[in-house]
């Protein structure tokens, strides 16, 4: 929903995307969500690397596959 715009389905494409581009400048709910998502993304990017134990806990299927017997044609 765009503020004070009805029937966005009938709006010309370039005008619609011009409004969408400006949504991050709006100080309302959508901008707040955008800021939270960006902060979370930046925090994940700056997080310390996982330990081997943390990685194993996050990827149990990979650990299980590593312990299975090789299939035919494997080494």
Looking at the structure of the chain, the number of domains it has is 1
Question: Is residue 43 pLDDT above 70, yes or no?
Answer: yes
- Residue 33 inside a domain? The answer is yes
3-state secondary structure of 12: coil
Triad 72, 73, 75: Cα angle to 5°: 100
Two tokens, residue 44: 């994940």
Alpha-carbon distance 54 to 47, whole Å? 13
Predicted pLDDT of residue 74: 54
Domain span at residue 13 reads 8-67
- Residue 24 inside a domain? The answer is yes
Q: For all residues of the chain together, what is the average pLDDT?
A: 79
- Residue 61 inside a domain? The answer is yes
- Residue 39 inside a domain? The answer is yes
- Residue 12 inside a domain? The answer is yes
Predicted pLDDT of residue 36: 92
Average pLDDT over residues 21-34: 74
Average pLDDT over residues 50-64: 88
- Residue 50 inside a domain? The answer is yes
- Residue 57 inside a domain? The answer is yes
């Amino acid at each position: 929903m765009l503020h004070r715009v009805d029937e966005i389905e009938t709006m010309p494409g370039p005008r619609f995307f011009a409004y969408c581009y400006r949504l991050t400048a709006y100080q309302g709910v959508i901008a707040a969500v955008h800021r939270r998502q960006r902060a979370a993304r930046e925090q994940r990017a700056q997080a310390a690397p996982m330990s081997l134990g943390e990685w194993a806990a996050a990827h149990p299927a990979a650990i299980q596959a590593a312990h299975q017997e090789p299939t035919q044609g494997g080494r």
